[in-house]
């Protein structure tokens, strides 16, 4: 074979690998967009369908709930039955669930559709990384990650902005429905491309899945979330308290199951690692704060200051800019100051929170007055996002890296659902007996307490980040 023929073969292989990467990124971008897109749209959706406070709380929390509960299970299903098959099932289900969201005629319909959307997202997302790991050479994986991170970060940041733009554009008089209906086009094209491009794999029928543990985890999270939202909306009647207690009992049973199961969802040995355990708890509170705080600010801009969805999305842009700036500054700082970069990010976030707290009674209805404090909060968050995971797996054993990464990703989703539910519950309960400004102040106190707890946990993290193999 001469050099010319070899170059043609190499070029075809490069095109094939980049095509696979593109398909995987489309799937992940859909997830990132839909995880945040209702932050802006919730008030107008609630106004159209009814449902009030409870619907606004469920729109974001429901998606994150089923995504987090099934994320690790979705990865195991791909190993057992084949990543390509699960990718196609996930993409098709996600697209149909998006259609159901877009044509919803009642609060119950859209809540169920969001839960289903998150469930199929959990089947879809883990397969992409597994396919890449199985078929990409090391050099291509390095190139892929250099593209992956920035693209997904932009998708996360652009979710609320896209929502505001689509609602304002009112395409075919669809209003907020277009934020879901656009997924039909993207999802259909993504499914066709995946069917043609993704390599076939048979899977491994010997892979075991902890079905009992999955049911316990799902029941625990659903009970806690439902109890919190129902309690905050109905003055904590006996029913709400009993549902939360049920969730706590299921949590204890889940922990017991993880100790006894042959193939647990979370390896119990990970909790013997102090650095990982500290990072897991830190991540739970941090990502809960991020989800709750960003949602809270969006609600305040619209319900308190009268911003339109598009206006609120523009007023949240400083948060995105702060994340971008700090993400650029982070890599060179990690080597110099180590885990302290997470502490610095938390302090910056807390500073921005304090400034906005001070401004609440001084802004005189001008939402742009909060731009500097919102920028600071975004900047602080950006220092923590990737680095938190990097340090949490800093000293785990390589054979535990897969379980650790899956656990962290699941915790990120689950804490987002709980954090958004808890913080918005504080806000809505306080709003019944006080002004919206006072409700924001009380919510900020809860958020500040969570950030201070995160600061205390930073010193327990590993000193160094996980290596490239992790």
- The C-alpha R_g of the chain, in whole angstroms, comes to 22
> Smallest Cα–Cα separation from 354: which of 448, 434, 291?
448
Dist. CA 257–CA 184, nearest whole Å = 39
The answer to whether residue 395 scores a pLDDT higher than 80 is: no
Give the single-character DSSP code of 198. Answer: S
> Smallest Cα–Cα separation from 67: which of 420, 465, 470?
420
Work out the burial of residue 252: count CB atoms within 10 Å of its CB; fewer than 13 is exposed, 13-18 middle, 19 or more buried.
exposed
Dist. CA 429–CA 368, nearest whole Å = 26
Residue pair 373/440 in contact by the 8 Å Cβ criterion: no
Distances, alpha carbon 122 to alpha carbons 127, 231, 329, 377, 470, in Å: 9, 28, 31, 29, 22
453 against 432, higher pLDDT? 453
pLDDT at 320: 87
Dist. CA 296–CA 57, nearest whole Å = 10
pLDDT digits (tens, 9 = 90+) for 7-36: 666 678 888 888 998 999 899 888 888 888
- Name the fold adopted by 1-203: Growth Hormone; Chain: A; (1.20.1250)
Identical fold for domains 1-203 and 267-470, yes or no, is yes
Sequence-ordered list of residues with C-beta below 8 angstroms from that of 130, at least 6 positions apart, any chain: 75, 78, 79, 83
Average pLDDT rounded to a whole number, residues 348-353: 97
Q: Which secondary-structure segment (H or E) carries 213?
A: helix 211-233
Dist. CA 58–CA 222, nearest whole Å = 11
pLDDT digits (tens, 9 = 90+) for 63-73: 988 988 888 88
End-to-end CA separation in angstroms for the chain: 38
**DSSP string across 256-286:** HHHHH-SS-SS-GGGGG-HHHHHHHHHHHHH
Q: Chain-wide mean pLDDT for the chain?
A: 87
Q: Which of 85-99, 164-178, 312-326, 393-407 has the lowest mean pLDDT?
A: 393-407
- Name the pLDDT band for 205 (thresholds 50, 70, 90): confident
**What CATH class does 267-470 carry?**
mainly alpha
> Smallest Cα–Cα separation from 144: which of 157, 154, 131?
131
The Cβ of residue 172 has, within 10 Å, a number of other Cβ atoms equal to 9
Average pLDDT rounded to a whole number, residues 372-401: 84
CA 442 and chain centroid, separation: 25
Sequence-ordered list of residues with C-beta below 8 angstroms from that of 16, at least 6 positions apart, any chain: 197
The answer to whether residue 406 scores a pLDDT higher than 80 is: no
pLDDT digits (tens, 9 = 90+) for 232-277: 888 888 999 999 999 999 999 998 998 888 778 777 777 788 888 8
Residue pair 60/39 in contact by the 8 Å Cβ criterion: yes
For the entire predicted model, the pTM comes to 0.87
The answer to whether residue 469 scores a pLDDT higher than 60 is: no
pLDDT at 468: 42
pLDDT at 470: 42
The answer to whether residue 352 scores a pLDDT higher than 80 is: yes
pLDDT at 88: 96
Q: Provide the residue ranges of all domains of the chain, joining segments of one domain with +.
A: 1-203, 210-262, 267-470
Average pLDDT rounded to a whole number, residues 394-407: 71
Average pLDDT rounded to a whole number, residues 110-123: 95
The Cβ of residue 336 has, within 10 Å, a number of other Cβ atoms equal to 8
pLDDT at 394: 75
pLDDT digits (tens, 9 = 90+) for 127-171: 988 888 788 887 777 777 767 666 776 777 778 888 899 999 988
pLDDT at 381: 93
Q: Over the range 417-426, which residues count as b (16 or more CB within 10 Å of their CB) and which as e?
A: bbbbbbbbbb
The answer to whether residue 372 scores a pLDDT higher than 90 is: yes
């Amino acid at each position: 074979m001469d050099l010319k023929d070899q170059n043609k073969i190499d070029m075809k292989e490069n095109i094939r690998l980049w095509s696979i990467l593109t398909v995987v990124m489309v799937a992940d971008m859909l997830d990132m967009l839909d995880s945040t897109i209702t932050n802006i749209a919730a008030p107008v959706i609630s106004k159209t369908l009814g449902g009030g406070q409870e619907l606004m709380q469920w729109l974001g929390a429901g998606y994150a709930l089923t995504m987090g509960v099934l994320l690790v299970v979705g990865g195991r299903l791909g190993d057992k039955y084949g990543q390509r098959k699960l990718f196609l099932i996930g993409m098709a289900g996600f697209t149909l669930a998006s259609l159901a969201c877009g044509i919803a005629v009642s609060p119950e319909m859209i809540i169920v559709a969001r839960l289903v959307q998150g469930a199929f997202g959990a089947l879809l997302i883990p397969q992409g990384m597994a396919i890449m790991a199985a078929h990409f050479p090391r050099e291509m994986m390095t190139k892929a990650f250099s593209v992956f991170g920035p693209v997904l970060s932009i998708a996360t940041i652009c979710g609320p902005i896209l929502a505001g733009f689509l609602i304002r554009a009112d395409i075919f008089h669809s209003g907020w429905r277009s934020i879901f209906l656009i997924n039909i086009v993207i999802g259909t094209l993504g499914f066709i491309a995946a069917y043609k491009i993704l390599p076939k794999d048979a899977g491994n029928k010997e892979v075991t899945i902890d079905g009992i543990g999955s049911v316990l985890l799902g029941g625990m999270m659903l009970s806690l979330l439902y109890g919190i939202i129902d309690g905050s909306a109905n003055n904590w009647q006996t029913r709400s308290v009993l549902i939360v207690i049920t969730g706590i009992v299921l949590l204890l049973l889940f922990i017991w199951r993880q100790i006894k199961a042959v193939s647990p969802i979370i390896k119990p040995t990970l909790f013997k690692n102090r650095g990982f355990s500290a990072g897991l708890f830190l991540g739970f509170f941090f990502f809960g704060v991020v989800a709750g705080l960003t949602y809270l600010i969006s609600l305040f801009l619209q319900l308190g200051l009268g911003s339109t969805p598009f206006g609120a999305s523009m007023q949240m842009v400083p948060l995105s800019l702060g994340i971008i700036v700090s993400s650029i500054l982070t890599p060179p700082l990690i080597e110099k100051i180590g885990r302290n970069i997470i502490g610095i990010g938390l302090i910056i976030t807390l500073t921005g929170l304090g400034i906005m707290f001070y401004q609440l009674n001084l802004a005189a209805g001008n939402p742009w007055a909060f731009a500097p404090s919102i920028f600071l909060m975004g900047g602080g968050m950006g220092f923590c996002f990737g680095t938190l995971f990097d340090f949490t797996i800093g000293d785990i054993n390589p054979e535990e890296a897969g379980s650790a990464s899956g656990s962290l990703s699941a915790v990120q989703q689950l804490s987002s659902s709980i954090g958004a539910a808890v913080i918005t519950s504080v806000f809505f309960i306080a709003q019944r007996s006080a002004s919206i400004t006072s409700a924001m102040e009380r919510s900020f106190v809860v958020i500040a307490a969570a950030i201070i707890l995160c600061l205390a946990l930073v010193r327990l993290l590993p000193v160094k980040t996980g290596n490239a193999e992790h």
